[in-house]
Structure 1
Amino acid sequence: MKQIVLSLIANAGGVGKTTLSVHLAYEIVRRGFSVAILDLDPQRSLDVFCGIPPAEVSNTLV
């Protein structure tokens, strides 16, 4: 099984990183592949975008 790691990184805010990530993931899943999206943004942009409630954890990456 081949694994591909793709990172979308930019220092600037508001350039569309989250939007592009979600749309790329959607298209890859639509083509029959599995996708995992990791959001390291402390503002929780990805889970807010996808409508996922915040995780209840005591330890975070930040």
Structure 2
Amino acid sequence: MPKQKIVIGILANAGGVGKTTLAVHLAYEIHKRGQTVALIDLDPQRALDVFCGLPSAKSFHSLHS
């Protein structure tokens, strides 16, 4: 039987309410338990790259070029 995939979305209309913080900490805890995790930031403020100390990408495509 193939592994079940789970998608978790964290959203809120307001900025500064902790969406990125929650997503990063949740992903970290899931990863610690041996699961593969992908974080995708669709927030126009793009705080995930800053939070993780990564260079800021202009678009999804630029990450894979």
Code of the residue aligned with 2:56 in structure 1: it is: P
Q: Name the structure 1 match of 2:25.
A: 23
Gaps spanning 5+ residues in structure 2: where?
A: none
Code of the residue aligned with 1:48 in structure 2: it is: V
| Alignment: residue pair count | 59
Moved over 4 A (4+): none
Kindly state the Cα deviation for residue 5 of structure 1 after the two structures are TM-superposed: 0.5
Code of the residue aligned with 2:57 in structure 1: it is: A
Kindly state the Cα deviation for residue 56 of structure 1 after the two structures are TM-superposed: 5.5
Q: CA RMSD in A?
A: 1.8
- Taking structure 2 as the reference length, the TM-score comes to 0.81
What percentage of residue pairs aligned between the two structures are identical?
64
The separation in 2 between residues aligned to 1:52 and 1:16, in whole angstroms, is 19
Q: Name the structure 1 match of 2:14.
A: 12
Picking from 41, 44, 63, the partner of 1:42 is 44
- Taking structure 1 as the reference length, the TM-score comes to 0.84
Kindly state the Cα deviation for residue 29 of structure 1 after the two structures are TM-superposed: 0.2
The separation in 2 between residues aligned to 1:41 and 1:19, in whole angstroms, is 13
